[in-house]
Structure formats: C-alpha cells, structure tokens
Amino acid sequence: MKKAVILICLLACSMGSEAQEKISLKNLDFSKVWQEYGTVITEDDTIKLHAPSVAKIRLDGEAERFQTQVSIFSTDIGNDDASLLV
C-alpha cells in the first residue's frame, strides 16, 4: 500500500515538472526578417532592427508562453553625417 501511495505521489509530482525550454535568439534564423534598409543584428538576447521592419516568429502551437520586450531609440541623422558617406 505504501509503495502505491509513493508511486502515485511521484507520478503526480513529475507531471508538473516538465522542463521549460528557453530558446536563445542566436539559435533562430532571422534571414527572412524584412526591414527597409540594413541587416538584422543579433547580440546575446537582443535583436537590432531599423524601422520600418517586420519580424515574425513561428511558434507552431508548441509554445505555452512567448515573452518579449521592445525598446525604441530615436536618432537624428543629418545628410551631412560622415558615417553615411560612401
């Protein structure tokens, strides 16, 4: 009887203890991201895009949670900016 109770407890505990899988951005393919100019830059867990841009991530119904944060940085670049000269 004790063995049956212990077995049931172990099974109940193991059902909720499935490991979460965190997928790093460096493991994803960003070659299909569209942006008006430039290329996508990935650093650690950051994607750097130019606006306007479109990035879609296929979850295939496999994800229970998808979490992201967005930061927007505005920059003023003048026509005389030397970094833009070719």
- Segment holding 3, helix H or strand E: helix 2-15
Residue 37 in any domain: the answer is yes
How many domains in the chain? 1
How far apart CA 3 and CA 10 sit, in angstroms, is: 10
Residue 26 lies in a domain: yes
In this predicted structure, what is the pLDDT of residue 10? 55
Q: Is residue 32 part of a domain?
A: yes
pLDDT of the chain, 86 residues: tens digit per residue? 555 555 565 555 554 445 577 777 778 888 888 888 888 888 877 888 887 888 888 888 888 887 887 777 777 766 777 766 66
Q: What residue ranges in the chain does DSSP mark as E strands? A: 34-35, 41-43, 46-48, 53-54
In a domain, 6, yes or no: no
Q: Cα–Cα distance between 31 and 48 in angstroms, integer? A: 13
Q: Domain residues for 27? A: 22-62
Q: Is 68 within the bounds of a domain?
A: no
**DSSP letter, residue 69:** -
- In whole angstroms, give the CA distance from residue 57 to residue 35: 15
Report pLDDT for 9: 52
Give domain status of residue 73, yes or no: no
